């Protein structure tokens, strides 16, 4: 089953949608959520679990060690590509100290900004790219990737390890412009993609649809604003709203159809 990269502008609801999708998919099989946002600290709470003890970056020796391996490769003295594992890794095989969850719904974190003045997050992008390329999901397993805000993950090549790109758009001009570029970059990378509009109501839906249409984009689903989801996010609790379940199932069906196309 697929590795789905969820992207969009900051505040569009990427992490919330990842949590909602993960909750539904966990009723069908195994789900691995990959936290590839070096700034987001709340995804574990949204999923209803404690974050794993160690990041993947930590498993590799930390940011400095990964940076040194990257520099060695750039100098031609290292591997052609930064590799995390010799063999393919499945969601069920995640090392215990880098994965949290119950085995059905699990979460790993690529890496986080830990210190002031520690430098750029480029090594984390390299780790995310290599990790996603190495992970293979068996039938009935899904991998959901929560990315950082914007489109940096396209430039870093993280998209190479994904099978599908889901772009989240909230009612803002910035989100619409970014969605057009993200979709174009996904197509450039040869990845199927879709757009989901989030936190909308009847008053803005038509305007948002018109803006997207002018850019050649059509949303496959509308996720309305949910007070219970907003409250759960504020309290750091599991994100859930039964009223959104049918919409979430529709998004999953659309992704499956897009992969078969």
CA distance 230 to 234: 6
What token pair was written down for 183? 């979709």
- With tokens 């195994």, the residue in question is 30
Does the pLDDT at position 88 exceed 70?
A: no
Does the pLDDT at position 58 exceed 60?
A: yes
User: Cα angle vertex 103, ends 98, 109, to 5°?
Assistant: 30
Cβ atoms 236, 211 nearer than 8 A: no
User: Quick one: which of 219, 235, 224, 256 has its CA closest to 17?
Assistant: 224
Q: What is the pLDDT of residue 87?
A: 56
CATH number at residue 95: 3.40.50.300
Find the helix packing angle between 245-260 and 14-25, rounded to 10°.
90
Q: How confident is the model at residue 129 (pLDDT cuts 50, 70, 90)?
A: confident
CA distance 113 to 115: 6
Q: Mean per-residue pLDDT for 204-210?
A: 92
What token pair was written down for 135? 């992970």
Share of the chain above pLDDT 70, in %: 92
> What is each CA distance from 35 to 143, 148, 171, 190, 255, in whole angstroms?
11, 9, 24, 23, 20
Q: How confident is the model at residue 258 (pLDDT cuts 50, 70, 90)?
A: very high
How many domains are there within the chain?
1
Q: Which domain holds residue 180?
A: 3-260
More confident residue, 178 or 52: 178
The string of pLDDT tens digits covering residues 155-201 is 989 999 999 999 999 999 999 999 999 999 999 999 999 999 999 98
Write the CB contacts of 126 (distance below 8 Å, at least 6 apart in sequence): 66, 70, 82, 156
Q: What is the pLDDT of residue 53?
A: 85
More confident residue, 10 or 124: 10
Task: Burial-class residue 240 by CB neighbours within 10 Å (0-12, 13-18, 19+).
Answer: middle
What token pair was written down for 173? 């001009």
CA distance 94 to 35: 14
Q: Mean per-residue pLDDT for 96-111?
A: 89
Average pLDDT of every residue of the chain: 88
């Amino acid at each position: 089953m697929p590795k789905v990269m969820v992207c969009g502008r900051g505040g569009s609801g990427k992490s919330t949608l990842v949590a909602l999708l993960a909750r539904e998919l966990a009723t069908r099989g195994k789900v691995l959520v990959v936290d590839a946002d070096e700034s987001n600290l709340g995804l574990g709470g949204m999923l209803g679990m404690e974050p794993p003890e160690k990041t993947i970056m930590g498993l590799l020796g930390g940011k400095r060690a990964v940076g040194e391996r990257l520099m060695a490769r750039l100098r031609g003295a290292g591997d052609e590509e930064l590799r995390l594992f010799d063999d393919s890794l499945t969601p069920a095989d995640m090392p215990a100290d880098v994965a949290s969850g119950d085995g059905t719904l699990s979460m790993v974190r690529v890496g986080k900004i830990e210190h002031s003045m520690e430098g750029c997050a480029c090594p984390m992008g390299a780790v995310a790219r290599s990790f996603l390329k190495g992970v293979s999901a068996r039938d009935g397993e899904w991998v959901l990737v929560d990315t950082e805000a914007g489109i940096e993950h396209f430039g870093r090549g993280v998209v190479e390890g994904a099978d599908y790109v889901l772009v989240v758009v909230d009612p803002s001009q910035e989100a619409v412009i970014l969605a057009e570029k993200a979709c174009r970059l996904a197509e450039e990378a040869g990845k199927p993609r879709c757009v989901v509009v989030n936190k909308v109501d009847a008053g803005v839906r038509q305007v948002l649809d018109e803006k997207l249409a002018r850019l050649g984009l059509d949303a496959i689903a509308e996720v309305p604003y949910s007070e219970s989801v907003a409250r759960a996010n504020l309290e750091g609790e599991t994100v859930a709203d039964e009223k959104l379940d049918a919409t979430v199932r529709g998004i999953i069906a659309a992704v499956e159809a897009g992969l078969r196309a």
